[in-house]
Structure 1
């Protein structure tokens, strides 16, 4: 990653045209080829940017070239062209205040509190959240097409396959449907019904699940952790 703090002007041409007049800004060139232009305000969003795949070509002028054209005193110019759309970002650097490069390596990714593994563990420990008399059979119940997040039995002893997502979408419903089709071929388990559980479930996913006879449950992560006492709420 290259970080450049410079007095610069920026012009974008393509599906739209935009101009940033001369001012101090932070320029970021990432290893994936993306180029971002930041100011010292405006939160996290860049003022302008170019996403990959794109090509950056840098032109640097020496003192003689600058003296020959005093009306244009830029010392370095970046021409960034998007490889697919042809959009162009031109950055002219008039004064470079800081220029550094760093190898960040491969990023492990964001680990969010409340991811599916945490939800699965918490729900397994509190399986009676789904109903009085429910019991846990096993987490990561193996099948030929992958593990079911939780296999449980309800108060009547019937088998229930539970698929857990942080955000419930149609893909999750389809995944649980495939599990149920396979599990219901096992005479020792059938009939097996399904529960689609998530912190938030999209309306389309809920409609599809209900159409297939799958129950939908919205999980309260804080309540499962014992942080939020729902009985003590005023509203």
Structure 2
């Protein structure tokens, strides 16, 4: 809905939006969002589920109209099911009111998924330092393929596990690969490197405890978009 409206939020904090044209969105998951024509994607105010929405008309309870903002044609009261916080939207003039069933969203397909990171790192092993070389991508093991098997500058074998977001599960996965690879006398000793665009502190701690190095990957730099040497700052 696009409407002239005023908005009040009451709960852990109080906030007031005076009357102005705004975009009101009620989503199938129950969330209610109040947007202006600026501020990019961020709403001015919102209520996340679980919440209930009740729509009242002026004649429903005979209440007096708001003297500050004038007459309103309907009032939304959105109440959060757990906190009791309330979002009250007084609609003074409806400019557009439409409803659409969007169905199930297929999800965001992101540039830079793990397969892309793996391919980029395999083509740019010097991102790990001088003297690194690729043995094989998707090196097979009995429990699944290791993302990259490499040689470090000293010639040692290194198993590299790559994630977009490095979490504890990824470190555990790398641990299983390294343990298995170290049973092969042709490869042992094998150490591990945990590589990701972002690595959570807990994952770094666990990786260090397992004797693994952590590497933060810069996707744009690997693609050649971002040249650190060409930066002014």
- TM-score range, shorter-chain basis? 0.7 to 0.9
Aligned runs of 1:44-193 on 2, under 5 Å? 44-61=41-58, 65=59, 71-72=65-66, 73-127=71-125, 129-130=127-128, 131-132=130-131, 134-139=133-138, 141-144=140-143, 146-154=144-152, 158-187=156-185, 189-193=187-191
Residues 1:52 and 1:140: Cα distance change in structure 2 (over 3 Å) = farther
1:26 and 2:20 matched: no
8 Å CA contact 1:10–1:21 kept in 2: the answer is yes
Specify the SS of the correspondent of 2:101.
coil
Residues 201-235 of structure 1 deviation map (CA, whole Å, 9 limit, x = unaligned): 45554444334221233334344334455666677
C-alpha separation in 2, matches of 1:179 and 1:59 = 61
Give the superposition deviation at 1:141. Answer: 3.5
**Normalised TM-score (structure 2):** 0.79
C-alpha separation in 1, matches of 2:170 and 2:124 = 22
1:36 to 33, 38, 41: 33
Give the superposition deviation at 1:155. Answer: 5.6
User: Size of the alignment, in residue pairs?
Assistant: 227
C-alpha separation in 2, matches of 1:29 and 1:125 = 46
8 Å CA contact 2:178–2:192 kept in 1: the answer is yes
Unmatched segments (≥5 aa) in structure 1: none
Give the superposition deviation at 1:170. Answer: 4.3
C-alpha separation in 1, matches of 2:26 and 2:105 = 16
Residues 1:46 and 1:152: Cα distance change in structure 2 (over 3 Å) = same
CA RMSD of aligned residues (A): 3.0
Residues 1:140 and 1:88: Cα distance change in structure 2 (over 3 Å) = farther
**Normalised TM-score (structure 1):** 0.79
Give the superposition deviation at 1:30. Answer: 0.9
Residues 1:200 and 1:12: Cα distance change in structure 2 (over 3 Å) = closer
2:12 to 7, 11, 15: 15
Give the superposition deviation at 1:54. Answer: 1.3
Give the superposition deviation at 1:25. Answer: 1.4
2:3 to 6, 20, 27: 6
